Amino acid sequence: MKYLTIEQRERLRKDLQDLAARLRTEIAEHRQLANHSQETDDDAVADLEGDLDIADLERDVKELEAVDAALKRIHEPGFGVCADCAEEIPFSRLTASPAATRCVACQAAHERRTGGGTAPRL
């Protein structure tokens, strides 16, 4: 198994730190949730917009938790190893998603099992 180089880990660490800073900014902005009732006289639209704001905030918080966890384990030997199959996660995947804990195949299987990543169906 080929492990990540020090340079690759440092690049991923910087990417994770930048992502964490961006997420913290977005979360801080979400704390000032808009009162959509003042923007429209349609209560259903206002409720929907409020729900979307809350969903955005929850997604950002969850992503920040994953980024913080990745930063804590970045210099551990298991960083970059798939949590399911124990194979190396390609650097290209980690570059695209530095907090990834699964290889592409195992992530796809996980999403099929849990229903994550699928579009809602009517």
Q: Identify the CATH class of 6-114.
A: mainly alpha
- Report how far residue 8's alpha carbon sits from residue 67's, in angstroms, rounded to the nearest whole number: 16
Distance of CA 2 to the CA centre of its chain: 25
pLDDT in tens, 6-34: 999 999 999 999 999 999 999 988 776 55
Q: 88 by DSSP, 3-state: which?
A: strand
Mean pLDDT of 37-64: 77
**Residue positions counted in the chain:** 122
Q: Take residue 11 and report the two structure tokens written for it.
A: 């690049």
Which residues neighbour 110 within 8 Å (Cβ) at sequence distance 6 or greater? 84, 102, 116
pTM for the structure as a whole:
0.76
Residue labelled with tokens 């209560």: 43
